[in-house]
Structure 1
Amino acid sequence: MLNSIMRGLAIHIGPFLTQALRYLMGVLVMLPLAWGAGFASYRPRNIGGQFTRGAVHTAGLCLWFIAIPHITLADTTAIGFTTPLFIMMGAALFLREPMRWERWVASGLGFAGVLIVVGPKLSASGGGYSLVMLASSPIFAASFLITKALTRYERPEVIVAWQSITVALFSLPPALTQWQMPSAVQWLLLLLCGVLGSAGHYCLSRSFSVADISATQSVKFLDLVWAALLGWLLFADIPSQSTLIGGAVICASTLWIARREARTARTN
């Protein structure tokens, strides 16, 4: 839902302006929570780490927003699923997480399921923009690895709040070059993006705080299953045979790794 809305906004009001206003709305969404808990509780322990994460995430977003108006959502989804592979490699190299064979197998199966679903739909119509989108994947992976490191001493809600603050600040200069006043409907859609994005990043940060980041990556492939289900429920899009087969592979791999991780946690 978030990607679909932001794609439409980027086409109409420009990618950089959409990026900046989406994260500004994220700040507004977090303000009532910070007010209720006390602003002091949202003071980060490592302000430098928060700004570093914000700068890296902004760089990935700039590439993502440049490409998104020019390639299909199917292509976007397929390319975006390379990010978990970069995350798993980074987790092994920089976070020294144990890379058990089950995690590699589950991620490989999940990625295979993605290819089954989107393979028939992929096209070369995006041209060079597909490469721009692909370039954002390792940058997003670096951002999420920094997030994992921050969860060792920061609460998830603090990370989400400061991500919105830092990305909004870093996105402001390019956004000013595209400034135009959004319509009332566009403001409402941007606010919805702030809610959806903050909720999604909170869930991610929460999962990173309680589990190895590499253990969470196979679940990312469930995005395609939810997309197919929502398309059927909201837009009467009948899932194709490849979608059903690929979705079954994705669900099977996710359930399998969840059981393996739970069993390993009990034995440890």
Structure 2
Amino acid sequence: MGRSAPTAARGKRHLFARHAAVAHRRASRLDPTLHALLWSAASGLLFVLLNSLMRGLSIALDPFQTQFLRYLMGLAVMLPFIARSGFAAYKPHNTLGQFTRGGVHTIGLCIWFTAIPHISIADTTAIGFTGPIFIMLGAVLVFKEPMRWERWLAAGLGFGGVLIVVAPKLTGSGGLYNLVMLASAPVFAASFLMTKALTRYERTEVIVVWQAITVTLFSFPLALLHWQWPSAGQWLLFLLCGLLGSAGHYCLTSSYAAADISATQSVKFLDLVWATLIGWLVFADAPSRSTLIGGLVICGSTIWIARREARGPKG
């Protein structure tokens, strides 16, 4: 009788392993672009959760300190994986490229964190969705990716859905900070295009680790300017931010490695749907009529482009 419990536990683990293997085989048969869209959608959900926490922390603490601690904790949660495989497994092929990408991303973060405590979530959401447009333009100019009409149409419909949602809520009260937030969009687009370039010869986990290392190093001097020691609760929130951020960047980088970067941009408009659902479920913010209509437009465009991409360019 004493051996039955361990035997049962082993049986459950084997059953779970078999189910996981079946799920992995089924996922491996999916079209690469559909794979990329799923990775991108998952990253969007993680980043919406992350940004909700980051906005609150950046109001309570100095924004640059918040930026530093978010990436420091992101690096901390990856240390066990680095220790298990050894640092040599995470040595990049192009160290200069990793630091250059980290520097560009740090500039975008500095701009973003400067604006985020001063403007509304509606304004932030509206301005943030200009990013996919910059990325798609960059993909055409830099990588010569084929920009089929379906991708442009899906991006246009998704952006239209965003405008339906946020236009009634835009107040313009942020003034200059709206323009500051807008300035971060092309900088982040440049960072993500550099990430796409790095995926050609770097593993996803290497890129994510070195992003955490470089942004932490570049952000540290700015964090010292107005340092305030966080409370125990804030340290726990930063640790959660590190987990969400590292997972989000892993999903995002995986999407870039799986397919053309331009093919993943239409699904980013789903972030607004995630934000609406979180506000409804967590904060009891009932979605307005414009939110529901815009959400349907966004979901419809995303489902349509996913089906088109799964069928290929001649579908």
Q: TM-score, normalised by structure 1?
A: 0.98
Q: Could you say which residue in structure 2 is the equivalent of 1:45? A: 93
Residues in 2 aligned to 1:18 and 1:159: alpha-carbon distance in whole angstroms: 22
Q: Could you say which residue in structure 2 is the equivalent of 1:86? A: 134
Identity of aligned residues (%): 73
Taking the TM superposition and a 5 Å limit, the aligned residue runs for 1:21-60 are 21-60=69-108
**What is the alpha-carbon root mean square deviation over aligned residues?**
1.1
Unaligned runs of 5+ in 2: 1-48
Please tell me whether the aligned partners of residues 57 and 167 of structure 1 are also in contact (alpha carbons under 8 angstroms).
yes
Residues in 2 aligned to 1:231 and 1:17: alpha-carbon distance in whole angstroms: 26
Q: Could you say which residue in structure 2 is the equivalent of 1:208? A: 256
Q: Could you say which residue in structure 2 is the equivalent of 1:168? A: 216
Residues in 1 aligned to 2:218 and 2:171: alpha-carbon distance in whole angstroms: 33
Residues in 2 aligned to 1:138 and 1:51: alpha-carbon distance in whole angstroms: 19
Taking the TM superposition and a 5 Å limit, the aligned residue runs for 1:52-131 are 52-131=100-179
Q: Which amino acid aligns with 1:132?
A: V
Residues in 2 aligned to 1:123 and 1:198: alpha-carbon distance in whole angstroms: 33
Residues in 1 aligned to 2:246 and 2:226: alpha-carbon distance in whole angstroms: 24
Q: Which amino acid aligns with 1:84?
A: P
- Tell me which stretches of 4 or more aligned residues in structure 1 moved more than 2 Å: none
Deviations 1:108-160 (A, max 9, x none): 00000000011111111101000000000000000000000000111111111
Taking the TM superposition and a 5 Å limit, the aligned residue runs for 1:239-250 are 239-250=287-298
* 1:187 CA displacement: 0.6
Q: Please say which structure displays the higher CA radius of gyration.
A: 2
Residues in 2 aligned to 1:78 and 1:71: alpha-carbon distance in whole angstroms: 11
* 1:93 CA displacement: 0.2
* 1:38 CA displacement: 2.3
Q: Could you say which residue in structure 1 is the equivalent of 2:238? A: 190
Are 2:209 and 1:137 aligned? no
Please tell me whether the aligned partners of residues 4 and 73 of structure 1 are also in contact (alpha carbons under 8 angstroms).
no
Q: Could you say which residue in structure 2 is the equivalent of 1:150? A: 198
Are 2:277 and 1:233 aligned? no
Residues in 2 aligned to 1:49 and 1:257: alpha-carbon distance in whole angstroms: 32
Per mean C-alpha deviation after superposition, the further-off stretch among 2-11 and 54-63 is 2-11
